[in-house]
Amino acid sequence: NTNDISIAGLSDPNNLLSQRIIYFDYDKSAIRPEFMVLINTHAKLLAKIPNLKMRLEGHADERGSREYNVALSEARSQSVKRIMGVQGAQSGQMRTIGYGEEVPIVRGHTQESWQQIRRFEIKYYYY
């Protein structure tokens, strides 16, 4: 079932739960509307399975100071955590980390590579 909110959904490529990367606009921590359903679906899984936990990992591109980018990526993680909380996920199930520009997913200094680097990743553990 593509809409099944379960652990099995995490490894089903047709299930929304298998998508665990969200992208941000430059210098923004606001969630883009097209990612709201994805975030809400992950939140529902946490709400359903109280012993499930996740790391919310925020990333920024290389523009701006290192300190600024760490703060921005942390703000991105907090944005996602807030929305998940509204959907019933418990605060203790979510740990936020702001990596700043330290862990780029691709190499490059173009708009295209920066767009891929400016991301947020959901990492599940304890399941």
Q: How far is CA 126 from CA 26, 33, 52, 123, in A?
A: 33, 29, 6, 10
pLDDT in tens, 33-72: 999 999 999 999 999 999 999 999 999 999 999 999 999 9
In whole angstroms, give the CA distance from residue 62 to residue 58.
Answer: 13
75 and 109 in contact (C-beta within 8 Å)? no
112 and 26 in contact (C-beta within 8 Å)? no
Q: What is the pTM of this model?
A: 0.89
The pLDDT of residue 2 is: 59
**Neighbour-count burial of 110, counting CB atoms closer than 10 A to its CB (0-12 exposed, 13-18 middle, 19+ buried):** exposed
pLDDT in tens, 82-115: 999 999 999 999 999 999 999 888 888 999 999 9
First to last CA, the chain: 20
